[in-house]
Structure 1
């Protein structure tokens, strides 16, 4: 009996030892050998970067540099500063040290920083599905983005774009002008009441009101409802955005997203609630209980789920993930962009007056129509310059799914490329010595005449993955700006603190309080 127990114990020890060896080999391969092979392929091409640690990559160094920058930073309301130095000081430091191409890592993810205009151009021209959105986006930010059109690749992305893109073609967006105007009426009436109640000059923090307006637009245009029906979805998405943005530096740490941390538990709960709300909305639409117009994006998504996917879980994921993508990207980025635009116009009264004069001349006291919007050259230039200085998203990212050649650069399979949009938009070599200044005149002859490298302007993304909703976003921004300009003049409140923050989008950390007067 003792001998049998001894043999059993030995077998157990043997199995345990083999499992430990297997786990050790896996961790060594996953955390060091495979990443090191990728880094070596880049080193052979002269690309350098900060040395990573085994488990965290360069995350600890990024946090240290960020903390040092925060300690040195003094509060300032100077709106001309290049805020990328404050938000991403590690990129500025490493670029000064290693040049416009350098490698770094976050956990097990190997990244190549790209701010060389020629490589950016090659990425924009690249058509093959061998390079797409990084897989870590749908994993580490899966609760917010899932495998919707913003993060998917291959055949799934091709199908999603075929389903969703036609809903945002120019002719379709032209038919949305009236519903955008309807949504603007409520906003302007509420601001008018505030101004009147405060004796003709009222302070309004515009951010949340603009989010509600933009949420109303995307709900009406894409889902046949209004903001009051979708507000629970928007509210939870906003909460989820805040939770996930606080964890943005920790993307890539193995196993972190599975641990029951406080942030992860909140993320999981919000994800379940959002999924349930969207599926209930879809169920109502399928059962025909909604009295709203059925010719909208939700109908196309439901049809797309039926056409291309087989099992119930995949169909539900298709519906939920794409609705989350449209809800988030369709209203959050647009609302934030309008907030920055109003801030810049408040700081530059000459341009505010010039844009207002154009709107009054074209509209002549009427609501703007599609033809009037098309003729708003000054307003368009103001929006383009605002999107240059404060692009809605901080990065354009791609992953090489096979070995890829971009010009003279050989990118090995598994490398994720990161283009810092905000930094590229402030490059003096591309935009001139006034790159940090608000100067809409640079767009007088369009994007191609605004800078040396037009492909470096990418507020809506790059190449074949350019945002499908940019037509709607531009029309929405033109309408709300023209309506505000024709009804109010405005300037910055003394309480305004200029502090751009990265919360997955680039937004004003403390809001944008403006002093409005009836025009």
Structure 2
């Protein structure tokens, strides 16, 4: 070996060691120093929480242990055969309830290396709900872990990227636009109810049916027709694969970033599905570009993707694919699942079912639902509001401080993640009264302001500027679907129904909603 070669070896080794050292310093800063610094800043202001017992997982092992203990205690206590308790957060969010009791209404904990400030103090909740500061964005860890499903679309982006997309999508879902879609919704819903009538007749006048699958297909058909000028059948494979992708992402340990990069069997399946969904959406887009006569939401997305002003961090291809995925998912998953919970609650409370039916039948005696008739469905609105209180699909709201911000007397440092536990806030006895765990739509007879001591404790569609852009679409669709079902069928819970609220990406009935249904 020459002298030059001999000199090159230690130089190369020094370079490698130097790069490794820089990488280690960066990892230490990002994964250890920065999270600990955020926690110290909060603790100096009197915000405390459970100690982190795992270097990489933070308090995740504690969360799982507390949840297991709560589930074991619930099974020992028992609720009686066929009993339905709406207090699922006592198990699903048992760690929040325990730490809230131990450390106060606001406390900090770590999900992996991600520090989280959990907020249930109503004064601070109110300030956050009313805040319009742009420095509160979507939590980066949440968006990254669920990137295969949402990408950088409207549901997961922040800053100027989110602002641009909101300006494109939100106006297409304003109430006046949604009201023009009522006839389309009625047509899809009537097709489903006719199928139900045929099944009931074939089974002798009463059928045992799992309704959540049908409602999911119906909601997919409605969003496809309303926003993409196509039918569920045309996009069935996209919806099916999105559902499959959602199932794989449920088990992702959000907040442990290294896990999403490992080439595990699950991650490989996620990556494969992500590519397949993108390919199918682009095929749909290609067909649309050849026939662009429609002026629906997809057309607005396509036109915006071709304009100047597109966020610099997004290609036109990514802008189209990510927002189509967001709309496909949110547009059919949320309304279908809430409608399923609503039918379950009405089946379990026949007096409210009959009371709602009387109102609906009177309004629909001269024909199918229209925007005027929907506005008159006061009782049905109360029932939907109460369903969203007890079974809010978005169980939490998470925001990240993109800059240092101040709320009330609390200084929140840049990078801190704020969590509002919606399902806990919807059940606080001091806000909702002694019947917080009961299904009582009557509480909403005078609207949200008359139902609780703080309107800011009710947030089924999120908070602030980032409130769900599709909330009007969801409410109108649910009223159309539920009113048609109530006017044509009576139903009760099947003995096969098992009450098991399950925390997936949204709160779902773990074993479906199975009803005994009769035609009126």
- Taking structure 1 as the reference length, the TM-score comes to 0.96
Q: Is the 8 A contact 1:137 1:145 kept in 2?
A: no
Question: How many angstroms does 1:464 deviate by?
Answer: 0.8
SS at match of 2:503: strand
Cα deviations across residues 261-284 of structure 1 (Å, max 9, x unaligned)?
111111111110111111111111
State which of 279, 283, 295 in structure 1 corresponds to 2:286.
Answer: 283
Q: For structure 1, which segment, 155-164 or 488-497, has the greater mean C-alpha deviation from structure 2 after superposition? A: 155-164
Determine the C-alpha separation between the residues in 2 that align with 1:390 and 1:499. Answer: 12
Residue 259 (structure 1) aligned with residue 270 (structure 2): no
Q: Deviations over 1:383-434 (max 9, x none)?
A: 0011111011111111100111111111110011111111111111111110
CA pair 142-310 structure 1, distance change in 2 beyond 3 A: closer
Which secondary structure state, in structure 1, belongs to the residue aligned with residue 161 of structure 2?
helix
Instruction: Give structure 2 stretches of 5+ with no counterpart.
Output: none
**Displacement after TM superposition at 1:365 (Å):** 5.0
Map Cα deviations across residues 83-117 of structure 1 (whole Å, 9 max, x no partner). 01121222122112112111111222221111111
* Secondary structure of residue in 1 paired with 2:315: helix
Change (3 A) 1:130 1:495: same
Shift of 1:151: 1.2
SS at match of 2:306: helix
* Alpha-carbon spacing, 1:20–1:311, altered in 2? closer, same or farther (3 Å): closer
Query: In 2, distance between residues paired with 1:369 and 1:4?
Result: 86
Please give the per-residue CA displacement for 1:223-261, whole angstroms capped at 9, x wherever unaligned.
0001001111100110011100111xx222232211111
Return the alpha-carbon distance in structure 2 between the equivalents of residues 5 and 306 of structure 1: 55
In the TM superposition, what whole-angstrom CA distance separates every residue of 1:144-166 from its partner, at most 9, and x where no partner exists?
01111111112221111111111
List gaps (5 residues or longer) in structure 1: none
Check if 1:220 corresponds to 2:225: yes
Instruction: Name the SS of the counterpart of 2:491 in structure 1.
Output: strand
Contact 1:500–1:506 at 8 Å: present in 2 too? yes
Deviation at 1:120, TM superposition (A): 1.2
Question: 1:115, 1:490 → 2: CA distance?
Answer: 38
- Which residue matches 1:410? 411
Of 93-102 and 317-326, more deviation after overlay is shown by 93-102
Contact 2:219/2:336 (<8 A) preserved: yes
Equivalent-residue separation in structure 2 for 1:510 and 1:195 (angstroms): 22
State the partner residue of 2:103.
98
1:25-424 aligned at under 5 Å gives the runs 25-52=25-52, 53-74=54-75, 77-247=82-252, 250-288=253-291, 294-307=294-307, 308-309=309-310, 314-364=315-365, 366-424=367-425
Q: Deviations over 1:16-58 (max 9, x none)?
A: 3323322322222122111111000000111111122321111
CA distance in 2, matches of 1:39, 1:499: 35
Distance 1:313 1:173 in 2: 29
Contact 1:204 1:515 in 2 (8 A): yes
Counting matched residue pairs gives 514
- Residues in 2 aligned to 1:368 and 1:156: alpha-carbon distance in whole angstroms: 38
**Closer, same or farther in 2 for the Cα pair 1:312/1:141, shift >3 Å?**
closer
**Counterpart Cα distance in 1 of 2:490 and 2:169:** 38
- CA shift, 1:118, in A, is 1.2
Given that 2:89 and 2:423 are in contact with CA atoms closer than 8 Å, whether structure 1 keeps it comes out as yes
- SS of structure 2 residue aligned to 1:381: helix
Give the Cα–Cα distance (whole angstroms) in 2 for the partners of residues 257 and 80 of structure 1. 35
| Residues 1:500 and 2:472 aligned together | no
Segment drifting more, 174-183 vs 153-162? 153-162
Query: Which secondary structure does the structure 2 equivalent of 1:157 belong to?
Result: helix
Secondary structure class of the residue paired with 2:257: coil
Q: Are the structure 2 counterparts of residues 81 and 168 from structure 1 closer, same or farther at C-alpha, using a change threshold of 3 Å?
A: closer
Q: Structure 1 residue 429 and structure 2 residue 430: aligned?
A: yes
The answer for the alignment partner of 1:469 in structure 2 is: 470
> Normalising by structure 2, what TM-score?
0.96
2:145/2:257 contact within 8 Å kept: no
- Give the 5 Å matches for 1:6-25: 7-25=7-25
- Kept in 2, the 8 Å contact 1:30–1:108? The answer is no
CA contact (8 A) 1:31 1:54 kept: no
Q: Quick check: 1:184–1:480 contact (8 Å CA) kept in 2?
A: yes
Report the CA distance shift for 1:129/1:163 in structure 2 as closer, same or farther (over 3 A). Answer: same
1: CA distance, partners of 2:365 / 2:115: 56
Q: Distance in 1 between matches of 2:482 and 2:86?
A: 24
Distance 1:81 1:214 in 2: 25
* Aligned counterparts of 1:337 and 1:300: Cα–Cα separation in 2: 28
1:255 counterpart SS class? helix
Q: Distance in 1 between matches of 2:188 and 2:257?
A: 45
Could you tell me how far apart the structure 2 residues matched to 1:400 and 1:421 are?
19
Q: Single out whichever of 18-27 and 129-138 deviates more from structure 2.
A: 18-27
